[in-house]
Amino acid sequence: MSAIDCKYHSETPARWRCDTCHTNMCSSCVNDQADADAPRCVMCGEPLADNGLEDFIPPFWAKMPLFFSLPLTLPALSFIALMLIAGNIALYLPFIGILIVLFVLPTVFLKYAYLLLENVSDGRMLAPSVSDVLRDNDYSIVYKH
């Protein structure tokens, strides 16, 4: 669906439309705080119809490049470096190192991946920090996986 632009602000999506004047207007053109009813057209005074919010919320595919660049951010790179260092150090420990490499590190990594997906699903295109993984003790989603 293509965006409907405001008649007076060509770069702004239109939030309201007047069916009488056949005019689309953005929120800055309309005083929608004035009364509890629908806002009125500034030209003819008729109640305005709502165009909806679909033009204001960008679709996920428009944010895809940002999603795939999240592993290249500083928090994600520091987490990956920490996992690599912990894995290399754990290999020098006789028996416990194998357990750490086989169970603990994959669990922590999956928890980080789930936190990343949770952030993206909430609309925050931010990679969680290492402290976020250590602070959040709810690993039930990882064990269910």
- Cα gap 97→141, rounded to integer Å: 24
Of residues 104 and 63, more confidently modeled: 104
pLDDT band at 74 (very low <50, low <70, confident <90, very high): very high
The residues with which 25 forms a beta bridge, in sequence order, are: 16
Q: What is the DSSP letter of 125?
A: -
d(C-alpha 18, C-alpha 4), whole Å: 13
Q: Identify the pLDDT of residue 41.
A: 84
Q: Give the amino acid at 61.
A: W
Question: 136 exposed, middle or buried (CB, 10 Å; 0-12, 13-18, 19+)?
Answer: middle
Output the pLDDT for position 85. Answer: 94
Structure pTM?
0.60
pLDDT confidence tier of residue 22, bands split at 50, 70 and 90:
confident
What is the percentage of the chain residues whose pLDDT exceeds 90?
19
Q: Return the domain boundaries, the chain.
A: 1-57, 60-144
Q: Which of 38, 44, 19, 39 is nearest to 29 (CA)?
A: 39
Segment 92-143, tens digit of pLDDT: 988 899 899 999 999 999 999 999 888 887 778 888 888 888 887 888 888 8
119-125, long-range: CB within 8 Å, 24+ apart, which pairs? 120/67, 120/70, 125/63, 125/66, 125/67, 125/70
Structure-block tokens of residue 138:
């709810």
